Chain A
């Protein structure tokens, strides 16, 4: 139960604010519905304010292939090459959602997404990290995902977490870029 105790006239023409607006935004994407929602949100912000945007996608590494993915592809080289192609296509597709006036960079890497996101944010001096949230733990049920929790704890800047409230989001937990590989290996 909330009570509004003060409601002045809405006039948002303020100049002096103690905080810095977000100018350099790092968006971590993985092909999930949540990532798409995050990109759409930042693209909408880029239409209202000048932003420098970096899109980051982390492909699975050879170590991850060895531990979890041999069942999908017998050859690590073929799998990783395919993952890179899909990651590049993903970044290109998301990049086209931004207005032409927005400067957008792409980072395609391999390995742990959370580590790369934090390192990229530090190296690029990001003002804001935006990423989708799709965590689930068998012990605790739905909770903050490992990547989002790690990034929010270690990030050098504020972290914006975006849910996708679409029903399809419930089926896209985990590394959602991987299902895109399946049609070729099935």
Chain B
């Protein structure tokens, strides 16, 4: 039978049993009665935000939202673009596609905010999750947009759903423009190499 968390905490506090409960295990989520914040010393902080972008409008909203949140939380912001191979038999994709897209997008946010620009090639969903795991990110922000005939299976888009399910950290999905931003105003999609625009959502 599994121990109740409260019981585990008691065991941890008891002399002689501390070796059975590692120090990182005690539950700090419940405040002591009457003290509220007292005793809670560690909270999950969002210090590193990874935003996945492609040429789509939702990914631009995601970048804007992530940049605003990073500025407010004084967090580091990394922007990742994954170039997918449109033709599995043709691997001759110029390596500067991601760099071009990232450079264009990075101009949307204040330069000091962006800690890192990541260019990657391959399957977008797994690359984003790998990057979130390796950095490591505290939050992933991604634009969601379902395409094709399988929208009922993946209403947020297959990439966004994969990232939500496999990301080691929370994921914010942006499917609407931020407040005050009109749909279409942020889109620069026509100017981008749509053929090679990878998936960020």
Contact = CB atoms under 8 A, between A and B. Distances in A.
A binds B: yes
Interface of A: 1-22, 36-38, 40-41, 43-45, 47-49, 93, 96-97, 99-100, 127-128, 130, 133, 140, 142-144, 148-149, 152-153, 155-163, 165, 168
A14 B112 contact: yes
Given A20-B65, A20-B178, 11 more contacts: A2-B130, A3-B120, A7-B116, A8-B111, A14-B67, A19-B65, A19-B66, A21-B72, A49-B73, A140-B153, A142-B165
B176 interface: yes
B36 A100 contact: yes
Contact of A153 (B75, B156, B186): B156
12 contacts: A12-B74, A13-B112, A14-B113, A17-B68, A17-B113, A19-B61, A19-B69, A41-B46, A127-B179, A144-B161, A160-B171, A163-B170
Contacts of A43: 43
A8 B109 CA distance: 13
Contacts of B73: 45, 48-49
B161 A143 contact: yes
Contacts of B187: none
Contacts of B175: 152-153, 155, 158-159
A152 B173 contact: yes
A100 B40 CA distance: 14
Contacts of B70: 12
Contacts of A7: 115-117
A12 B75 contact: yes
Interface residue tally of chain B, by bracket?
35 or more
Highest count of chain B CB atoms <10 Å: which of A19, A93, A155, A160: A19
B91 to A, nearest CB: 14
Contacts of B63: 19
B31 interface: yes
A48 B31 contact: no
Contact of B45 (A48, A93, A144): A48
Contacts of B172: 128, 158-161
Nearest to A125: B179
A178 B65 CA distance: 35
